[in-house]
Amino acid sequence: MKLSSKFSGFVLAFLCSSLTLAADKLSVVASFSVLGDITKELGGDKIALTTLVGPNQDSHVYSPTPFDVQTLAKSDVMVINGLSFEGWITRLEQSSGFKGLRVVASKGADIIEFNEEHHEEEHDDEEYEKNEHEKHQQSAAHKDQDEHSHGDQDPHAWHSLANIRVYINNISAALITADAANKDYYQVKRQAYLAKVDALGKRLAAKVATVPVAQRQVIISHDAFGYLGRDYHFSFLAPVGLNTQMKPSAADVALLIRQVKAQNIKALFVENVSDDRLIKQIGRETGAKLGGHLYSDALSAKNEPAATYLKMMEYNIDTLIDELQKVL
Ligand SMILES: [Zn+2]
């Protein structure tokens, strides 16, 4: 029995050391892949991170698992986007009895209200005005019918590098509140990450400037890029039905084709999680070009081009601008 008691002693020592290691780290849960990546950059090896909705997964239709409930119950910090993006989070929070620190990353960010007028460029074309009117009517219908809608505010605020500075500051401040002993470490991480965001911002602004504002018109499979449009003066058109949840009617498709022709739009894009058949049909009927996939509500898998938040921002802008340059 000597061997066996030696073995249990070893197992016990091993378990104790892993428990000590885990206990040393701040336990953090992030709601989805974008926030998971940002939180990992800020928390480094001082946190044990769990991300609930992973790469290429749709946060809108997520159903929390019993494992998620257990994970959240044991966590010190929970990071969410807010703005009604994670419709399932309140129930998860309640069933887990979470007692830690809850961070709404978008708090204080510059948020797009859905009743705002986003298109301020001057167009004297009557056809354009008519299309804009129809587009807005569609947006209203889209909000009522579509599971993708999130409320009166556009939740996809992470697509703005200016907003992401707010996200970074909110998340970093929460890590420091929950784990003050590592304050200096978190502050160094925060400064380093903000510097990367600034460097990327400069590069992307220079890249976008190579295409005139009037040419920055694209069709996208659904409306998740309002912030990219605002920051970089892209005009994104994403009519009803063009998403993963709904089938558009023949009238929707006909309207979209008229819009593409009237506005002389030459580039079409789809998202990482949507069906591209309709986009292809519109391409055939209008001569607009299918420009590829953009990443909106989730990062890509590790072996794909948008595996981190910064890579996603860079990939989306590079893809948009490269395609628009081809059709200039
Ligand atoms: Zn969304």
Q: How far is the CA of 295 from the centre of ligand 1 (A)?
A: 11
- Spatial separation of the C-alpha atoms in residues 172 and 188, rounded to whole Å: 10
The 10s digit of each residue's pLDDT in 105-136 is 999 999 999 764 443 333 333 343 334 333 33
Q: Which of 62, 99, 95 is nearest to 77 (CA)?
A: 99
Q: Which of 16-30, 103-117, 132-146, 175-189 shows the lowest mean pLDDT across its residues?
A: 132-146
Q: Give dist(CA 59, CA 51) in Å, integer.
A: 11
For 268-327, how does the pLDDT look when each residue is reduced to its tens digit (9 = 90+)?
887 665 566 777 788 888 888 888 889 999 999 999 999 999 999 999 999 999 999 988
Residue type, 17: S
In the block, tokens 């947006």 appear at 139
What's the CA gap between 306 and 316, in Å, rounded? 9
CA distances to 66, 168, 278, 300 from 282, in Å: 43, 39, 6, 26
Cα–ligand 1 centroid distance for 3 (angstroms): 57
* DSSP category for residue 219: E
Residue 219's pLDDT band (boundaries 50, 70, 90)?
confident
- Domain spans, the chain: 2-106+115-139+147-199, 211-327
Q: How far apart are CA 234 and CA 291, in angstroms?
A: 15
**224 CA → ligand 1 middle, Å:** 6
Tell me the CATH class for 211-327: alpha beta
The Å distance, Cα 4 to ligand 1 centre, comes to 55
**Both tokens of residue 244?**
């993963």
DSSP assigned state of 263: T
The answer to whether the 2-106+115-139+147-199 and 211-327 domains have the same CATH topology is yes
pLDDT at position 267 over 70: yes
Given a contact cutoff of 8 angstroms between Cβ atoms, the answer to whether 144 and 182 are in contact is no
- pTM for the whole thing? 0.80
Predicted confidence (pLDDT) at residue 242 exceeds the cutoff of 80? no
**pLDDT at 277 (0 to 100):** 74
Rounded Cα distance, 173 and 30, in Å = 15
Q: How far is the CA of 31 from the centre of ligand 1 (A)?
A: 13
- CATH class of residue range 2-106+115-139+147-199: alpha beta
Tell how far the Cα of 309 is from the centroid of ligand 1, in angstroms. Answer: 16
- In the reported structure, the alpha carbon of residue 254 is separated from the centroid of ligand 1 by a whole-number distance in angstroms of 25
Q: Across the beta sheet with 235-237, what order do the strands follow?
A: 235-237, 217-220, 267-271, 289-294
Q: How far apart are CA 76 and CA 61, in angstroms?
A: 26
The amino acid present at 89, given as its one-letter code, is: I
Question: Ligand 1 centre and the CA of 36: distance in Å?
Answer: 16
Residue type, 319: T
From ligand 1's centre to the CA of 39, what distance in Å? 20
Ligand 1 center–CA 247 separation, angstroms: 17
Q: Tell me how far the alpha carbon of residue 223 lies from the centroid of ligand 1, in angstroms.
A: 8
Lowest mean per-residue pLDDT among 16-20, 200-204, 246-250, 274-278: 16-20
Helices (H), the chain: 2-24, 33-43, 66-73, 89-96, 126-145, 161-178, 183-208, 226-232, 250-262, 277-286, 309-327
> From the CA of 186, how far away is ligand 1's center (Å)?
30
